[in-house]
Amino acid sequence: MRTLEGHLAGVSTIAWSPDSNAIASGSDDKTIRLWHRATGKPYPAPLLGHHNYVYSLAFSPKGNMLASGSYDEAVFLWDLRARRQMRSLPAHSDPVGGVDFIRDGTLVCSCSTDGLIRVWDAATGQCLQTIVHEDNAPVTTARFSPNGRYILAFTLDSCIRLWDYVSGTCKKTYQGHINVKYALGGAFGVTGSDAFIASGSETGEIYFWDVKSKDIVQKVSGHQGPVMWVDTCPGQSGTLVSGGLDATVRIWVDVNEDEHDHANGITTGHENNTALQGFVDDNGGMVQVKIENGGYGDDARERMSVDVNGQETPAQYAEESIGGIEPEEMLG
């Protein structure tokens, strides 16, 4: 296990590059940093430009661009090779909760606590569609479906909605879990030939819905507090990972048929709250859990770490704590 250090304030989001060789992290210190996965070292220059906390990140499928959503209400598109800001999209009137790239990289979606989901043309930077639900509930996370036809949106009215972004209509609403306070996130998954949606709940369970019938197909519990994020392993293995406010990351495997049972691996080591996205490396069975320290008051001080050779990596920045923000503040 390796700790990546360099941010001056809490880290709210991380993202894997498509080739799994780099990790991007967005922080409350308003910067985005890129890291070598293999060495754990940061790339020299951080991405500077946001005026407020960076809250969400997404790599383009080719890995040449990065979209970032921030509390400054804008979405930035970055040229990663030059580490240059390509475009700034005047996206929302509230902090941007989530961003995502479509599978062919032509569209970016963003969502915000102002209740809007916007779809952007990545090439021209123009807004192509805005989706809004009548109730205008704050949208905390939005992501494209695996085939790019729909957008899955997590809202603070305890609903997850599947939108057809071309027509702007809601196709499915998934309910049953509780989500009124935190920015929860979930993912699409595949078992056999069927797709499911997995998401955490503030009651501590993980819920699984069938995409077509909207039925809850399974409900598993393991976390002690709200389950902040659930992510699935690419492919059809049905493996997923979850992280909760109880500072644990749990890996779930498909035991028999559709049964997701028993957390078989618990990763702890975070005394603080973790908001996180679990993830699995593309290449082969190696499971890597992407953990984000929620950064609620914790900072670089705690992150003295050891690099590959077991030597202590010198802390590059002053170890001063910049106050993090509680998720409740954002979503309140």
Partner 1 sequence: MNLSLVDPFVLAQDYPESTTGSLRSGHATCVRFNRKGDLLATGRVDGTVVIFDVETNGVARKLKGHTRQVQSLSWSRDGRYLLTSSQDWKCNIWDLQDGSILRSVRFETPVYIAELHPWNHLKFVVSLFEDQPLIVDASEPEAAKMNLPSAPKRTQYEEDDTARERQNAQDAKQSTTVATFTASGDHVLSGTNKGWLNIIEVSTRTTIYSTKICTGVVIFLRLTNSGRDMVINAQDRVIRTIQLPNLSAADLDPDTIDIEVEHKFQDVVNRLSWNHVAFSSTGEYVTASTYNNHDIYIWERNHGSLVKILEGPKEEHGVVEWHPHRPLIVACGLESGRIHIWSIIPQQRWSALAPDFAEVEENVEYIEHEDEFDIHPQEEIHKRRLDLEDEDIDVLTVEPVKGEIVDEENSFRMPVELDLNDSESEEEFVAVGRGEMRRKSPTEGRNFGLDGELPGSADEAIKKAKPKTKRR
Element spanning 328, H or E:
helix 327-331
Nearer residue to partner 1 within complex by CB, 159 or 280: 159
* 153 touches partner 1 by CB under 8 A: no
Neighbours of 257 (CB within 10 A): 8
Told to check if 93 binds partner 1 by CB under 8 A, we report: no
64 binds partner 1 (CB under 8 A): yes
Cβ closer to partner 1: 180 or 266? 180
Query: Under the criterion CB under 8 A, does residue 63 sit at the interface with partner 1?
Result: yes
Contact between 215 and partner 1 (CB under 8 A)? no
**Nearest-approach distance from CB 249 to partner 1, in angstroms:** 26
DSSP alpha helices (H): ranges in the chain?
A: 327-331
From the list 1, 82, 286, 318, which residue makes contact with partner 1 (rule: CB under 8 A)? Answer: 82
Taking CB under 8 A as the binding criterion, the range among 190-198, 241-249, 263-271, 287-295 that sits at the site for partner 1 is 190-198
**Does 190 contact partner 1 by CB under 8 A?**
yes
84-89 and 96-101 as β-strands: parallel, antiparallel, unpaired?
unpaired
Of 233 and 245, nearer to partner 1 (C-beta) is 233
Interaction of residue 163 with partner 1, rule CB under 8 A: no
Please give the Cα distance from 24 to 8 (Å, whole number).
Answer: 15
Residue 130 within binding range of partner 1, rule CB under 8 A:
yes
CA pair distance 268, 157, nearest whole angstrom: 30
Residues facing 121 on adjacent strands: 107
Instruction: For residue 329, give the DSSP letter.
Output: H
263: Cα separation from own chain's centroid: 21
Instruction: Name the minimum Å distance from CB 265 to partner 1.
Output: 27
Span interacting with partner 1, options 123-131, 201-209, 277-285, 311-319, rule CB under 8 A:
123-131
- Single out the segment in contact with partner 1 by CB under 8 A; choices: 176-184, 207-215, 222-230, 277-285: 207-215
Q: What b/e sequence results for 292-317 when a residue is b if at least 16 CB atoms lie within 10 Å of its CB, and e otherwise?
A: bbbbbebbbeebeeeeeeeeebeeee
Closer to partner 1 at the Cβ: 86 or 322?
A: 86
Tokens 């995502």 -> residue: 100
Q: Tell whether residue 168 is a contact of partner 1 (CB under 8 A).
A: yes
Spatial contact of 303 and 296, defined as CB atoms under 8 Å apart? no
Q: Shortest gap between Cβ of 257 and partner 1 (angstroms)?
A: 19
Sign of CA pseudo-dihedral 240, 207, 290, 233: positive
What is the residue whose two structure tokens read 């077509």?
Answer: 212
Cβ nearer to partner 1, comparing 106 with 267: 106
What type of residue sits at position 327?
P
Distance of alpha carbon 99 from alpha carbon 85, whole angstroms: 16
* Cβ closest to partner 1, residue 89 vs residue 330: 89
Interface stretch with partner 1, choices 7-15, 211-219, 256-264, 306-314 (CB under 8 A): 211-219
Q: What is the C-alpha to C-alpha distance for residues 1 and 15, in angstroms, rounded to an integer?
A: 18
Q: Which residues fall within 8 angstroms of residue 205, CB to CB, at 6 or more apart?
A: 177, 219, 220, 221, 223, 227
Q: Is 104 in the site for partner 1 (CB under 8 A)?
A: yes
Applying CB under 8 A, does 173 fall inside the site for partner 1? yes
User: Which residues form the interface with partner 1 (CB under 8 A)?
Assistant: 17, 19, 22, 34, 43-44, 60, 62-65, 79-82, 84, 86, 102-107, 118-119, 121-124, 126-132, 145-150, 162, 165-166, 168, 170-173, 188, 190, 193, 195, 211-212, 214
